Structure 1
Amino acid sequence: MSRKIAWWGSAVFGLAVLAGAPLAQAKDWTSVNIATEGSYEPWNLTLPGGKISGFEPELMDVLCERMKLKCNIAVQNWDGMIASLNAGKFDVLMDAIVITDERKQVMAFSVPYAQTPASFVALKADLLPGKTGAAGALTLDADADRTKAAVANLHKALDGKTIGIASGTVYTPFIDAQFKDVATVREYGSSAEAILDLQAGRVDAVFDDVTFLDSIMAKPENNNLAYTGPQIKGPIFGDGEALGFRQKDADLKARFDAELKKAMADGTVKKLSEKWFKVDLTPAS
C-alpha cells in the first residue's frame, strides 16, 4: 500500500532481534520463505481456492524459477511482518513495500520494481480543482516550501472537508503535513475501511495508491467513485516498491537484485505490470 499499514512497532521489535542476534555465516540458499498479505489487490491477493496470486506472486514465480530456488509463499498480517522477518520466520517480504529511510533502519531492500503515484478519490470528480489523474500529475520531493506551493489549490479546496486514509501509510505524513490544518484527517486500519466510509458519506475524499484505487473502482459497487484532482508522485513517497530482507542477508538480496534487474531489462516486469495494473509501473532507469 505502497505499504501502507502501521509498521513501526514491529520494526522496533525487529531492531531488538537484530541487536541480540549473532553474526551468521553466508547461507547456501536452496529455498526461501516469503511473506505477503494476500489481500492488497492487485499487488497480491488470495483466490477463492486459496492460491496466492497477483502482480508480485507472479513476478516471484519468475524470479525463483530463474534462480532455481524453492519459494514458499505464505500469508502474514502486515503489522507483524517485519518482526517475523527479523525473527527468522520469513526470509523475504513481498507486499508492495515502499523503500523509505525509516524502514532502511530495520531491514534491507531489493532494487525497486515499481513506482506508483497516489490520488484522491471522491463521490464527485469536481471536488478538487485542476486536471484529473496523470494529465495533471504533480511530482513532489522533500522540500516543504515547494510542496506547499504545489498543493495550494488542493489545500484551499479541502478546507472544512474530511479526508480518509489508511493509518501508518507512506502517504499519512503528507496528508497530515499539508491538510490537517484545514481538514479533518480520519485514519483507518485498512484502505478498504476508508472506502466504505467514503461510500457512507462519513468522509469527503480518500487518498491512496492509484493501483489499489483502480482495483477498488473497477468493482460494480464502487462505480460511483471518481478520481478528483491530480495524481501525486515522486520522492516525497519514497524510492518505489521493493522486496524486504534481513540486513544480514546481503547474499540473498544480491541474488534477487540481479534477477530483478534482468526482469526489468527484458520486459518481464513491464508485461506483468500491464497485465495487473493496465499500465507500466517499471521505475525509470
Structure 2
Amino acid sequence: MKKTVAISAFLALAAFAAAPEVQAKDWKTVTIGLEGDYEPWNLTKPDGTLGGFEIELANDLCARMKVECKYIAQDWDGMIAGLNAGKFDVIMDAMSITPEREQQIAFSRPYAQTPAGFAGLKSSDLAKMDGTGTMVSLTGDAAHDKATVEILRKALKGKTIGIQTATVYTDFVKNNFGDIATITEYKTAPEHDLDVTANRIDVAFDDDTYFTSAFAKPGNDQMVLVGPQIGGSIWGKGIGPGFRKDDADLRDKFDKAIADAIADGTVKKLSLKWFKLDVTPAATP
C-alpha cells in the first residue's frame, strides 16, 4: 500500500513537472466594449467614429500601458455576456461596480463616482418636487434610506417612471417604486428622454452626468432634474472597467494606469471637459 501511494505520488509530481507552464497573455492589443450611445460617457460621432469621456480616458490608459486600443459597440443588456464570451477584453461603459456584478466579472479600481436622479419636464408638477437642487446619500440599507425614499415615494405615487434596463439603477427604481408607480424599461437611455419630452412618461431615472449632456440636445431643452441628486454607496464602489476573472494581469495593468491618471489629474481634466464637474473617485478602494 505504501509503495502504491509512493508510486502514485511520484507519477503525480512527474506529470506536474512535465506540464507546460501557463504563460500570461502578451497584451499588445486590447478590445474595449461600450455602447457608443451613452453621451457624454461614450458616443458615436456623425462620421461613425467613437468619442466621449471613456474613449479619451481609454486612449490615455492604453498609451500608459503601451497597448493598442480597439473599440466595439455592444448593446448594454449583453455587455457582461459579450465580455465573458470573448467578444472584447474590457467593458468601459459607465458600469458601476456592485457585489452582484463582481460575482460575474472582475473590476479594477474605479475611475469615476457620480450621483443619479430623476428628470422630468419643467412644466410638470414634479419640477418643484421636495429636495430638488439638493444632494442626498443612500447606502442601500432600508433603515438608513427610509426617510429619503418615503419622500420620493409620496411624490411619485401614481406616476410613470422610465429606466434603462439592466443598469445599477433598474433594481433601485423597481424595488422602491414598483408598487406605487408604473415602471417602463428602455433599451437605451435616449429612448426614455423621448418619452419624457412627449409626455408619455412623467420622469426618467439615470446618471446625472448623462442628463447634463442630454438636456443640451435638440428637443430636450424642457427637461430638468427633479428631486434630489442621489449619491452614496448604494451605487457601489464607483464606475470602473470590467474584465474576465481569468484576465487578472490585464486588470492589474488598468489598475495601475487608472491610479496614475488620477494622481496626475488626467481624470479630473477629462471629467471637467465632458461633464463640467469633477467625477474623480473620492478614494481608492
Which string of whole-angstrom CA distances, capped at 9 and with x for unpartnered residues, describes residues 174-196 of structure 1? 11222222222222222211111
- Seen in structure 2, the aligned counterparts of structure 1 residues 57 and 131 have a Cα distance that, compared at 3 Å, is same
Provide the C-alpha distance between the structure 1 equivalents of 2:235 and 2:208, rounded to a whole number of angstroms.
13
Please list the CA deviations of residues 205-226 of structure 1 after superposition, one character each: whole Å capped at 9, or x if unmatched. 1111111111110113111111
Q: Kindly provide the amino acid, as one letter, of the partner of residue 38 in structure 1.
A: G
Task: Give how far 1:258 is off.
Answer: 0.5
Picking from 149, 164, 167, the partner of 1:166 is 164
User: How does 1:1-285 map onto structure 2 within 5 Å?
Assistant: 25-124=23-122, 127=126, 128-133=128-133, 136-285=134-283
SS in 2 for 1:282: coil
SS in 1 for 2:282: coil
CA drift of 1:92 comes to 1.2
CA contact (8 A) 1:44 1:52 kept: yes
Q: Deviations over 1:126-152 (max 9, x none)?
A: 51533423xx11100021122121222
Q: TM-score, normalised by structure 1?
A: 0.87
* Higher Cα Rg, which structure: 2
SS at match of 2:135: strand
CA shift for structure 1 position 162 = 1.4
Q: How many residues align?
A: 261
Whole-Å separation in 1 of the counterparts to 2:103 and 2:181? 32
Query: Runs of 5+ in structure 1 lacking a partner?
Result: 1-22
2:15 alignment partner in structure 1: none
Amino acid at match of 1:78: W
- Report the CA distance between 1:121 and its aligned residue: 0.8
Bigger shift: residues 74-83 or 160-169: 74-83
- Displacement of 1:268 in angstroms is 0.3
Question: Which sits farther off after the overlay, 23-32 or 82-91?
Answer: 23-32
How far apart in 2 are the matches of 1:175 and 1:76? 24
Q: 2: CA distance between counterparts of 1:33 and 1:191? A: 24
- Asked if the contact 2:38/2:189 (under 8 Å) is kept, the reply is no
> Which amino acid counterpart does residue 31 of structure 1 have in structure 2?
T
**Identity across the alignment (%):** 56
Indicate how the Cα distance of structure 1 residues 274 and 38 shifts in structure 2: closer, same or farther if over 3 A, else same. Answer: same
Segments of structure 2 that go 5 or more residues without pairing to the other structure are 1-20
User: How many angstroms does 1:46 deviate by?
Assistant: 1.3
CA distance in 1, matches of 2:185, 2:81: 23
User: Is 2:197–2:219's contact at 8 Å kept on the other side of the alignment?
Assistant: no
Q: TM-score, normalised by structure 2?
A: 0.87
Q: Distance in 2 between matches of 1:33 and 1:188?
A: 26
Asked if structure 2 preserves the Cα contact closer than 8 Å seen for 1:110 and 1:256, the reply is yes
SS of the aligned residue for 1:120 comes to strand
Q: Secondary structure at the match of 2:278?
A: coil
Residue 4 of structure 1: aligned partner:
none
Secondary structure in structure 1 of the residue aligned to 2:54 = helix
CA distance in 2, matches of 1:157, 1:131: 11
Runs ≥4 in structure 1, deviation > 4 angstroms?
Answer: none
Pairwise CA distance, 1:24: 5.7
Does the CA contact (< 8 Å) of 2:77 and 2:187 recur in 1? no
SS of the equivalent of 1:221 reads: coil
